[in-house]
């Protein structure tokens, strides 16, 4: 490749690495002689991942705080100015109920009718869009069951990737229902990672084992790798011996993947009835503090992933 001029410092150089070339939204190619010049020229977007981080909130056991986690994680990331799409794959539609929104169209229309996700999603907060669900998802489940083996588990991937949803957002967060159905299989086929909310009781430990088996089945039968990025203890009451023992068991097994627990907090249960997130309803509560910590962890791990990605690129010659 011939020598070119760095758009940041004006130095003449010969590009040798992938990171030294950046395409703008209008198709113009910019060249940077160093990482520092790339940061100077592009600012905070210098090393923005090309694809959204896709996260499913999943536990086949009910009542573990999946929707609470999905809603408040999405809202917390949006408050930090990340563009977030929150998708509800549970026919109960609790995401929409929690945020006080009911879209004219739902996930059903995306899966069955092929409606564009950008037309179906509802902007509910700044930087936060939601694709809601309702009882029509039962019909969507029947529709999926009638498809051939490959299509029935990857319809969500097909619909979202067709509209390049991942390129429009920093995060796509999926709230999964408490069962192993075709909708959850579709969610796991789309995401790259799973956060498992776990209540601090014995039966929840059994539920975690079921989730791990499900993820392995997805990898084996659908050919899609999904990793458990975090296990989140919820409804934690440090005054009880059982809760402390369950937390110790989770920490012993999952090590650094076991996040600090979300404490039992009445405000978390009250917030959905006011159509608010915990940050809007009770910003100084334990619940807000605990979910702020989860959001900080997600952003911190995103930074690590981006740095690792760029470190690889800097060693890759063009």
Domain boundaries defined on the chain: 4-45, 53-303
SS (H, E, C) 210-221: HHHHHHHHHHHH
Report the pLDDT value the prediction gives residue 315, as an integer from 0 to 100.
43
Question: pLDDT tens digits for 289-312?
Answer: 999 999 999 999 885 454 444 333
Can you tell me the distance from the alpha carbon of 273 to that of 98, in angstroms, rounded to the nearest whole number?
A: 7
- Report the chain's C-alpha Rg in angstroms: 21
Instruction: Calculate mean pLDDT across residues 261-276.
Output: 96
State the DSSP code for 283: T
pLDDT at 27 exceeding the cut of 70: no
Report the pLDDT value the prediction gives residue 23, as an integer from 0 to 100.
64
Nearest 5°: phi and psi at 195? Answer: -110, 125
Question: pLDDT tens digits for 128-175?
Answer: 999 999 999 999 999 999 999 878 999 999 999 877 888 889 999 999
Report the pLDDT value the prediction gives residue 307, as an integer from 0 to 100.
40
Fold of 53-303: Rossmann fold (3.40.50)
Q: Decide if 4-45 and 53-303 have a common fold.
A: no
Question: pLDDT tens digits for 62-75?
Answer: 899 999 999 999 99
Q: Using a pLDDT cut of 90, give the percent of the chain over it.
A: 62
Which neighbouring-strand residues pair with 184?
none
Please state which architecture CATH assigns to domain 4-45. Roll (2.30)
Instruction: Calculate mean pLDDT across residues 210-227.
Output: 85
Helix axes 182-190, 149-162, angle to 10 degrees: 50
Report the pLDDT value the prediction gives residue 134, as an integer from 0 to 100.
92
């Amino acid at each position: 490749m011939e020598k070119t001029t760095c758009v940041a410092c004006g130095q003449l150089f010969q590009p040798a690495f992938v990171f030294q070339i950046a395409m703008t939204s209008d198709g113009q190619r910019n060249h940077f002689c160093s990482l520092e010049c790339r940061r100077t020229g592009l600012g905070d977007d210098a090393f923005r991942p090309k694809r959204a981080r896709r996260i499913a909130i999943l536990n086949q056991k009910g009542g573990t705080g999946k929707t609470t986690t999905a809603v408040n994680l999405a809202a917390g990331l949006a408050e930090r100015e990340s563009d977030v799409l929150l998708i509800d794959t549970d026919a109960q539609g609790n995401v929409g109920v929690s945020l006080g929104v009911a879209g004219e169209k739902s996930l059903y229309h995306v899966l069955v009718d092929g409606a564009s996700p950008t037309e179906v999603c509802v902007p509910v907060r700044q930087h936060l869009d939601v694709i809601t669900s309702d009882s029509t998802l039962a019909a969507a489940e029947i529709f999926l069951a009638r498809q051939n083996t490959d299509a029935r588990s990857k319809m969500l991937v097909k619909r979202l990737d067709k509209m390049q949803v991942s390129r429009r957002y920093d995060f796509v967060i999926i709230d999964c229902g408490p069962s192993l159905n075709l909708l959850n299989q579709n969610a796991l086929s789309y995401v790259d990672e799973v956060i498992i909310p776990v209540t601090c009781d014995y039966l929840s430990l059994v539920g975690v084992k079921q989730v791990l088996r499900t993820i392995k089945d997805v990898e084996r039968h659908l050919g899609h790798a999904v990793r458990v990025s975090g296990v989140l203890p919820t409804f934690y009451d440090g005054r009880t011996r059982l809760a402390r023992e369950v937390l110790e068991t989770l920490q012993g097994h999952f090590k650094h993947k076991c996040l600090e627990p979300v404490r039992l907090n009445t405000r978390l249960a009250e917030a959905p009835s006011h159509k608010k997130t915990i940050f809007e309803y009770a910003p100084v509560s334990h619940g807000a503090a605990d979910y702020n910590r989860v959001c900080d962890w997600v952003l911190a791990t995103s930074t690590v992933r981006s740095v690792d990605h760029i470190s690889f690129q800097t060693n890759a010659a063009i």
